[in-house]
Structure 1
Amino acid sequence: MAIDLESGNRTILSDDSTGAGTGFSSPRSLVLDSANNRVLITGHYSNRLTAVDLDTGDRTTFSNSSTGTGTALGRPHAITLDIANNRALVTNTLKGLLLSVDLDSGNRTALPADRTGSGAAFEYPLAVALDSGNNRALVASDALDALVAVDLDSGDRAPISDRNTGTGTTFRSISGIALDSVNNRALVIDDGWRALAAVDLDSGNRTILSDDSTGTGTAFSRPFDLALDSGNNRVLVTDQSLDALVAVDLDTGDRTILSGDGAGTGPAFLLRSAWR
């Protein structure tokens, strides 16, 4: 679905009636691959990555057990792009791995390939963001209630923020990460907090930016994922219970429903999902 950022109007780009190819099954996360005019989508229970042509809506299996070689996807959840290395980074929740997926072949490699690297192992990694300036990925481990840095060469894992690192409310369930490199912070959605928070990348300190007590507007109910709209100094948050896309002002924490619940036209959202 495409959403107009001014009007909130919603347009179907690909579904069972729009575009050819195998239909979606348990989609969890997506990333825009603008160089190839497509979107890449993880299928959690189908163990498949699907590429969607943005002109036609056609769906093509980009990587699965019969497309591409290497480590199995293992309940893929989150995805981000590493354009400089022509790959996608995907979280494997079944084995607790971070996978590199070649954007041409769909071949999959665990990072690192020998699955070593020092530091605590992931447990159920639900979100990932690329911090290319520091050659690392930021990964949220649901079981560890932590934001972890993964060195993309060595595979070494180090906590950036958890119950022992940084100050502020302890994480309960991070479901989305966006890097705000200009401000040296990660922006995270914590479903357990029902909040948007900022994590200082040096100290690991956690600060609530928007929740029931911070900012005005409709409160989050089941926030799921986010995207940084730096040009408008805001974050866009999907909320599964509100069936809405919510815009959050990064200065005030004020929340405005951008699309859904009477805002915008087009097919209604149905964001509820048994995603864990």
Structure 2
Amino acid sequence: MHHPISLGVQSDFIVSHLESELIDHADYAVYRTPASPDFYFGNFLALKVPLSKKSSYHWEQAFDQAFEGVAGIRHRAFIWPVVEASEETDIRGFVNTNYEFTENHVLAMPSDALISPHRLNTEIRITPFDDDESIWSQWREIAVTERDAGHEEAGYRRYLAGREKTYRDLERAGYGDFFGAFIGDRLLGYAGVFTLNDLARYQQVQVIPDFQNKGIARTLIHHLAQWVATRASRQIIIADADYHASALYQSLGFRLSQREGCLCQWPGYVSPGH
């Protein structure tokens, strides 16, 4: 049984359309960002069939063929819409060979359905990054400090350099921007949002640890959603299914549209228990 590639993957194109390639096959699409090989989920297979349709060996073979000759690729990654709970059992063969599995909530909201929270953080100032190097410098250091365990710093900085170029190119072309939450000149949190063809996609919602649980993320997303409403009629945000952010976004009017399975095998990662 074939199904469309996930809504999350479709909305990825909003952010990557200036640099990425999408190559269609019968059972999957190849999503490639050759200039950023360290961007794991910019270089992946988007499956149109259940993960169980093929063995891990055959999926890996398809990935290797799709990325043959793309310099710097050192990982394998797959994304698919989870349409049946039973599919979750199919990840065991991948996990046993050191793939990291995550399940994402793909959350969607019509721009006119935004819910205003009872309380907003009134101490922060929210402003776009624009092309301000002092702000982007703070963004880099926060991202490096808060990166997930297992990502060595040099490789992560290469990944960030590619992401920063993408985001700043999009801002210069008028597709959106990153917005920061500040006290004084100090960046406490941030999120990006970009629009294309009446659809908006959020990126990298982050608040530094010392300022979490103060309503900053809620205030930031509420501000961005109002800004987006003048540019797109529908908004998409992705959240880890096991993280509280999904509930926060739903409190603002986003609704669960789809569940998305993700598998990634990358240098330095070892599955728990292995």
Provide TM-score, normalisation by structure 1: 0.31
Q: Which has the higher strand share?
A: 1
Q: Which has the higher helix share?
A: 2
Provide TM-score, normalisation by structure 2: 0.31
